[in-house]
C-alpha cells in the first residue's frame, strides 16, 4: 500500500515539483492550493493519473482530508516580494492560521509535518554565511516584515506542536531557488532578468548591484526536501547553494547566456532588500548527505528554455 502525502501550495513553483517527485516515487499525492499565486497549468500533466488528486482550498480555513496521511508538506504561501507586498494580510494569515490548520491536521492524522520556511527569517543578516543558529536581523514593521515574520511565526508554531503534542516535524529554510514553472512576472531577479533579456529590454538592477544571492536549481532543492522529510531532524535546516554571486554579476551572466543586447539600468534599492545572502549548509551535508549538484550555468540554461517557451505563448 502506497504512502499518502498532502502538499499545500502544491500548484506553485516548488509545490508542483514536489508533487512530481513524490508521485514518481510511488506516493498517493494530494495537491491543495487556492490558486492565488499557484496555477493549474503547473500540475495539469498530473490530472487524470492514478494516485494524484487536487483540492482547491484556502488552508487558512479548516482542512478536511479523508483517509490516512503519512506526510504533510506545508508549502502554501506567497513567496516573492511582488506577491507579499500586494497581499500582506493574506501572507500573514497563511503563515499563522494556515500553519495552525495544517499542523492540526498532522496531529489528527498522526502524520509527519514539514514546513517550508525561508532564508528571509535571517532578514538583512549581520552573520555571513548564515547558520541555522543565527536568530536573524529582521525589521518586523517594514514592508517585507509580513513575509519574514509569517515564516518566523510558522517555525515557532511548528516547534510548539513538536514539543507539546509530540508530532514529528521538520523545517526547511529555503534559499533562492530557480527553475521551470517560475512566473515571468513574479518580481524576483531571475525571472525578471530572463524576461527582460529575452525581449531585449533593459535589465533592471536595484542599487549598485553589489548585493549578493545564492541560487539553487529546483531539482537539487527537491532532493534535499525529500531527504529532510525522511530524516529525524526537527530543528531548521538550510537548503541552498553556497555559491554566492552579486546581482550585477548575475545580470551579466543572464545577458551572456541569452546572447542579448540589452543594457543594464540601475534603480533605487527597495526598502529592506537584504545586502547579503549565503547559506551555511554544513548541517545539511552532515545530516542529509546533501549538496547541490547542478551547475548554475546548466541550471540557467534549462530554465531559459522554459522561459522561451512561455514567452512564445504570449
* Averaged pLDDT for residues 237-255: 96
Q: Which domains does the chain have, with CATH numbers?
A: 4-180+215-242+278-294 (3.40.50.720)
Point out the least confidently predicted range of 15-19, 188-192, 272-276.
Answer: 272-276
pLDDT for 2 beyond 90: no
Does the annotation count 147 as an active-site position? yes
pLDDT band at 313 (very low <50, low <70, confident <90, very high): confident
Q: For residue range 58-108, what is the model confidence (pLDDT) as tens digits?
A: 999 999 999 999 999 999 999 888 898 899 999 999 999 999 999 999 999
Whether residue 314 has pLDDT greater than 70: no
Q: How far is CA 221 from the centre of its chain?
A: 9
Q: What per-residue confidence (pLDDT) applies to 40? A: 97
Q: Say if residue 38's pLDDT is above 80.
A: yes
Q: What is the pLDDT of residue 217?
A: 98
- More confident call, 143 vs 298: 298
136-173 confidence digits (pLDDT tens): 999 999 988 999 999 999 999 999 999 999 999 999 99
Model confidence pLDDT, tens digit, residues 186-231: 888 999 999 999 999 999 999 999 999 999 999 999 999 999 999 9
Q: How far apart are CA 266 and CA 228, in angstroms?
A: 39
Of all residues in the chain, the percent with pLDDT exceeding 70 is 100
Question: What sections of the chain are H helices per DSSP?
Answer: 13-24, 81-86, 88-93, 99-109, 145-165, 189-198, 218-230, 247-258, 282-288, 296-312
Name the catalytic one among 147, 161, 178, 217.
147
Q: The C-alpha cell of 179 is what?
A: 527553475
User: What is the pLDDT of the chain when averaged over all its residues?
Assistant: 95
Amino acid at each position: 500500500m502506497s504512502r499518502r502525502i498532502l502538499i499545500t501550495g502544491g500548484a506553485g513553483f516548488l509545490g508542483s515539483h514536489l508533487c512530481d517527485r513524490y508521485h514518481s516515487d510511488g506516493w498517493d499525492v494530494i495537491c491543495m492550493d487556492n490558486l492565488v499565486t499557484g496555477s493549474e497549468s503547473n500540475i495539469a500533466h498530473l490530472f487524470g493519473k492514478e494516485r494524484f488528486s487536487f483540492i482547491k482550498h484556502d488552508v487558512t480555513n479548516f482542512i478536511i482530508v479523508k483517509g490516512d496521511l503519512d506526510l504533510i508538506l506545508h508549502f502554501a504561501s506567497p513567496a516573492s516580494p511582488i506577491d507579499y507586498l500586494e497581499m500582506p494580510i493574506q501572507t500573514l494569515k497563511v503563515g499563522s492560521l494556515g500553519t495552525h490548520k495544517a499542523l492540526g491536521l498532522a496531529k489528527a492524522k498522526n502524520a509527519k509535518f514539514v514546513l517550508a520556511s525561508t532564508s528571509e527569517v535571517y532578514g538583512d543578516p549581520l552573520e555571513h554565511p548564515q547558520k541555522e543558529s543565527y536568530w536573524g536581523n529582521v525589521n518586523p514593521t517594514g514592508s517585507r516584515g509580513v513575509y519574514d515574520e509569517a515564516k518566523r511565526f510558522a517555525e515557532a508554531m511548528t516547534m510548539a506542536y513538536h514539543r507539546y503534542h509530540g508530532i514529528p516535524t521538520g523545517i526547511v529554510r529555503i534559499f533562492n531557488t530557480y527553475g521551470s514553472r517560475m512566473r515571468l512576472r513574479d518580481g524576483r531577479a531571475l525571472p525578471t532578468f530572463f524576461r527582460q533579456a529575452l525581449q531585449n529590454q533593459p535589465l533592471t538592477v536595484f542599487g549598485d548591484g553589489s548585493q549578493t544571492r545564492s541560487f539553487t536549481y529546483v531539482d537539487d532543492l527537491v532532493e534535499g526536501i525529500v531527504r529532510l522529510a525522511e530524516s529525524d531532524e526537527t530543528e531548521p535546516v538550510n537548503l541552498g547553494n553556497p555559491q554566492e554571486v552579486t546581482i550585477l554579476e548575475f545580470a551579466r551572466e543572464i545577458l551572456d547566456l541569452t546572447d542579448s543586447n540589452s543594457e543594464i539600468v540601475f534603480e533605487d534599492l527597495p526598502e529592506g532588500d537584504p545586502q547579503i545572502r549565503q547559506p551555511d549548509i554544513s548541517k545539511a551535508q552532515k545530516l542529509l548527505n546533501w549538496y547541490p549538484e547542478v551547475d548554475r550555468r546548466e541550471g540557467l540554461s534549462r530554465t531559459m528554455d522554459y522561459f522561451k517557451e512561455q514567452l512564445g505563448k504570449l
